[in-house]
Amino acid sequence: MQQKAVTDFSKERVIEIKHLNKSFGPLDVLKQVDLELYKGENLVVLGKSGTGKSVLIKILVGLLKPDSGSVVVLGKKVDQISYKELLALRLKVGFSFQNSALYDSMTVRENLEFPLVRNQRSISKAEKNKAVEEILEAVGLSQAINQMPSELSGGQRKRIGIARTLILQPEIMLYDEPTAGLDPITCLDINSLINEVQERFHTSSIVITHDLTCAKAVGNRIAMLLDGKFACQGTFDEVFGHKDERVKAFYDYNFIE
């Protein structure tokens, strides 16, 4: 299986986290976390269950407040902006949920129209049709336009979920466990889609996963969260060539080629 090419991205930071701390009562989840996302890259965040990956994502989109530290997304300090500014920022940061979060009672077309109508009230029918058709073509599911989510496979639902996030043309994509619950062949398909989205839409992405095959295929850079900190960051080979025993153990436990 091929490792993602290492590309020299512009050093423009679309996300910059410095000395971030977050605790819940006595539980210190994130401890002095530093992390950057560069424009155009796919950054994979790895970590065992319960290490704080979701907490980190929630802080990035302003759903949780950091206890201390600085979190800057697209030039805005997320914990210091007004609610109106936060809503505007969230439109630029697409979040693709683990369970695809499709509305079961709506067709694929209606599912895709929903974020458009909610966020762009004056959008015309022709503009809606064009956006839906374009995004379905981008995820390779033009034929599914009138189907119900229940008629789609898990991989197809995942694609529509990603399309629903992409339709608002976000600058940053956050993928939460994009390959969870899928068979190995469909996982490869989703990995390819994540790479296609990066190339076609020039998005910068954070991919949260336990799946090392996915990490290797899509990550220009990998960051491994261990005991509340990023223990190591780098290419797949750099991270897994690391001497830290905890990193080796994660690899041995999770990697299936």
181 near ligand ATP (CB under 6 A) = no
- Number of C-beta neighbours around residue 90 at 10 A: 19
- Number of C-beta neighbours around residue 45 at 10 A: 26
172 near ligand ATP (CB under 6 A) = no
In the chain, what is the straight-line distance between the N-terminal and C-terminal CA atoms, in Å?
7
Q: Which residues pair with 107 in a beta bridge?
A: none
- List the structure tokens of 63: 């759903």
Q: Of these, 15, 17, 20, 29, which contacts ligand ATP (CB under 6 A)?
A: 29
Residue 68 CA to residue 75 CA, distance in Å, equals 18
Closer CB to ligand ATP, 51 or 203, in the complex: 51
Closer CB to ligand ATP, 54 or 120, in the complex: 54
209 near ligand ATP (CB under 6 A) = no
Give the dihedral of Cα atoms 210, 213, 216, 222; nearest 10 deg: 10
Contact range with ligand ATP by CB under 6 A, out of 45-53, 86-94, 166-174, 241-249: 45-53
To ligand ATP, the closest distance from the beta carbon of 210 in angstroms equals 7
Q: Of these, 4, 14, 53, 152, which contacts ligand ATP (CB under 6 A)?
A: 53
Residues that bind ligand ATP (CB under 6 A): 24, 27, 29, 47, 49-55
